[in-house]
Amino acid sequence: MKIRKAVFPVAGLGTRVLPATKAMPKEMLTIVDRPLIQYVVDEAREAGIEHFIFVTGRNKGVIEDHFDRMFELDESLKSRNKAKEIAELARFQPDAGETSFTRQQAPLGLGHAVWCARELVGNEPFAVVLPDELVLNSPGCLKQMIDIANELGDKSNLVAVEEVPTELTHQYGICGVGERHASRANAFTIDGMVEKPPQGTSPSNLSITGRYILQPEIFKILETQERGAGGEIQLTDGMIKLAKSQKFYGVEFEGERHDCGSKPGFLRANIAYAMQRDDLRDGLRAEMLRYLEK
Binding site for ligand G1P (CB under 6 A): 110, 130, 133, 172-173, 195, 207-210, 234-236
Closest CA to 203 of 190, 212, 211, 193: 193
Helices (H), the chain: 36-46, 61-66, 71-79, 83-92, 110-115, 118-121, 141-152, 218-223, 235-242, 263-275, 281-293
Whole-number Å distance between alpha carbons of 54 and 140:
20
Angular region, 105: left φ>0, alpha ψ -120 to 50, beta rest: alpha
Distance between CA atoms of residues 210 and 125, nearest Å? 17
Beta carbon nearer to ligand G1P, 148 or 164: 164
Nearer to ligand G1P, 159 or 187 (CB): 159
Q: Please state, in angstroms and rounded to a whole number, the distance separating the CA atoms of residues 222 and 28.
A: 28
User: 240 or 274: whose CB is closer to ligand G1P?
Assistant: 240
**To the nearest whole angstrom, how small is the minimum distance from the Cβ of residue 85 to ligand G1P?**
33
What is the nearest approach in angstroms of ligand G1P to the Cβ of residue 171?
7
Q: How far apart are CA 83 and CA 81, in angstroms?
A: 6
Q: In the complex, what is the shortest distance from the CB of residue 135 to ligand G1P, in angstroms, rounded to a whole number?
A: 11
Q: Which residue is nearest to ligand G1P, using beta carbons? A: 173
**Cβ-based nearer residue to ligand G1P, 27 or 133:** 133
Least Å distance, CB 136 to ligand G1P, is: 16
- What's the min distance (Å) between Cβ of 24 and ligand G1P? 19
C-beta closer to ligand G1P: residue 43 or 133: 133
